[in-house]
Amino acid sequence: MTAAIRIEQVSKRFGATQALDRVDLEIGQGEFFGLLGPNGAGKTTLISALAGLVKADSGRLAVMGCDVQNDYGAARRQLGVVPQELVFDPFFTVRETLQMQAGYFGIARGQARDAWIDEILDNLDLTSKANANMRTLSGGMKRRVLVAQALVHRPPVIVLDEPTAGVDVGLRQALWRFIRRLNEEGHTIVLTTHYLEEAESMCTRIAMLKAGRIVALDTTRNLLSRPAVRMLRVRTDACLPADLGAGPMQEDGWWIFRFENFSEIETRLARIRAAGCTIVDLEIGKPDLEDVFLKVMQEQEH
């Protein structure tokens, strides 16, 4: 099957900054894919290159088999991008903005177009704002319109560059429900976010970028099972052998240990028992995507 997105050896330099450094990435149709990385890692540059807004210095990009450079119009029609920056024309209403976007993609006026626009407005809770001028909307509302704009031409591949930045809890949940539905209906979703718990719960596969290079690429499940620092919290009857390597006792009476594999827990618990201390309560923290992300980023510094 044709890949939804194929990126081969893509590099991009801005002056002295190597924003993308020979990036290779293939995303299959129907995937819910996460593109993560610290500020300045190159996520937006990669998305802009895919949308033809930034010209890569070298390499090739294709959306649903359409080459971004040689077949730009076709590639662009396959793609809906929710940009990170708020850009819009302040003089039009929300509905006009969406209608113009549809026109831009050559979608004929008519019932089908209007019904789909109504459905998008409804799902993004924008119906009451349909006739409001863009400039009168709050920041979060404007972001909703950006999402709506990306969906107007029903693109098979939808790329969302930090769609939930500055968005309230209610919309965040509504947005994810809608995006999930689109994914279930077969749309390929690519998401960048700094809210790693969102990526963890939504994305089945994740790439981590750092300084323009892909430094991790795996299923979310595999990433989460990587050896990472876990946390053991123990509450005892107040005593604890001094040389056990716990941090200072917390105010609520818990001691915290950090460890990388489970045998270290056994050793510690055995020594607590041997010292005659009684364990009153115990918790083991599972590493989450944030722990894995930080570890991957740290490893890259050596």
Ligand X SMILES: Nc1ncnc2c1ncn2[C@@H]1O[C@H](COP(=O)(O)OP(=O)(O)OP(=O)(O)O)[C@@H](O)[C@H]1O
Applying CB under 6 A, which of residues 6, 32, 44, 63 lies at the interface with ligand X? 44
Nearer to ligand X, 45 or 78 (CB): 45
Q: Which two tokens stand for residue 89?
A: 């024309």
Q: DSSP class of residue 56?
A: -
Cβ at position 44, least distance to Mg ion in Å: 3
Residue 261, binding choice from ligand X, Mg ion, none, Cβ under 5 to 8 Å by partner class? none
42 interacts with ligand X by CB under 6 A: yes
CB contact at 8 A, 256 and 247: yes
Among 39, 111, 263, 298, binds ligand X (CB under 6 A): 39
Give the CA radius of gyration of the chain: 24
DSSP string over 106-174: TPPPSHHHHHHHHHHHHHTT-GGGTTSBGGGS-HHHHHHHHHHHHHTT--SEEEEESTTTT--HHHHHH
Q: Is 44 in the site for Mg ion (CB under 5 A)?
A: yes
Encoded tokens for 212: 């323009």
Could you say whether residue 144 binds ligand X (CB under 6 A)? no
Pick the binder of ligand X from 34, 37, 155, 287 (CB under 6 A): 37
Both structure tokens of 9? 């050896």
Residue 258 beta carbon to Mg ion: minimum distance, rounded to whole angstroms: 31
164 binds Mg ion (CB under 5 A): no
Rounded Cα distance, 164 and 12, in Å: 27
Q: Which of 3, 5, 7, 19 binds ligand X (CB under 6 A)?
A: 19
193 binds Mg ion per the rule CB under 5 A: no
| Interacting residue ranges for ligand X, rule: CB under 6 A | 14, 17, 19, 37, 39-45, 84
Interface residues toward Mg ion, by CB under 5 A: 43-44, 84
